[in-house]
Amino acid sequence: MRASDAERERVAEALREAVAEGRLDMEEFEERLDAAYKARTHGELAPLVRDLPTPGARPPAPSAPEASGAVDWRSRIGGPATSRGAFAFWGGFNRRGTWTVGRKFTAFAMWGGGEIDLREARFESAETEIRCFTVMGGMGVTVPPELTVRVRGFGLMGGFGDRATGEGTPGSPRVTVTGFALMGGIGVERKARKAAKRAAEGGARKELG
């Protein structure tokens, strides 16, 4: 069936929302947007948003283990990546919230900065490599306490901080963070997930009560 201008615009809006949320990088976004405006049929439009949520849709509710603060890794490994890289030049980028990390994810920042937050992320593969490179810029990688992490980066007239290397809980993906910082800094640290914080705060209130 032939596609209408309104249907092409709806697909374009879904793509704009996806790139704003970090589900698509700029190269993927531009390729899909160009294809959307050139599409003539529904069959050409559908694949462009098949792996993206409907604009305005709510994210799926967490499972019982997730809601209680535990991590159900089985439900968070597998599925297509929503992002395989990030780039910043005199600006910044962020990848956070519920997104799916590619098996290999490459981030670069020059005269800018970036944030990669894995606390609520899903993983395309149980073995993941995150490559971080910065020139006169800064980058931060935040991981949850339950994740298995190895950090192997280095700095030249800069620093590559490691406050995260260690084993995670059973079934955790294995994430290796590599790369280098030239006259800049990259830091990898552990922070508790929001669900874990809420569960801990709830337990503390019960004890006090």
Q: Could you give the angle at the alpha carbon of 162 between the alpha carbons of 98 and 145, nearest 5°?
A: 45
Q: Kindly report the CA angle at 33 between 123 and 38, in degrees rounded to 5? A: 135
pLDDT at residue 46 is higher than 50: yes
Average pLDDT over residues 71-86: 91
pTM: 0.64
Q: Judge whether residue 169 has pLDDT over 60.
A: yes
Q: Give the least confident one: 44-48, 53-57, 150-154, 165-169.
A: 53-57
State the pLDDT at residue 20. 66
CA distance 71 to 169: 8
Among positive and negative, which fits the CA dihedral 22, 116, 114, 127? negative
Question: Measuring CA to CA, which residue among 39, 26, 38 is closest to residue 84?
Answer: 26
- What is the mean pLDDT of the segment spanning 116-123? 96
Q: What is the mean pLDDT of residues 7-15?
A: 85
Position 204 confidence tier, pLDDT thresholds 50, 70, 90: very low
Q: Is the pLDDT of residue 176 over 60?
A: yes
- Confidence band, pLDDT 50/70/90 cuts, at residue 105: very high
Q: What pLDDT is attached to residue 64?
A: 53
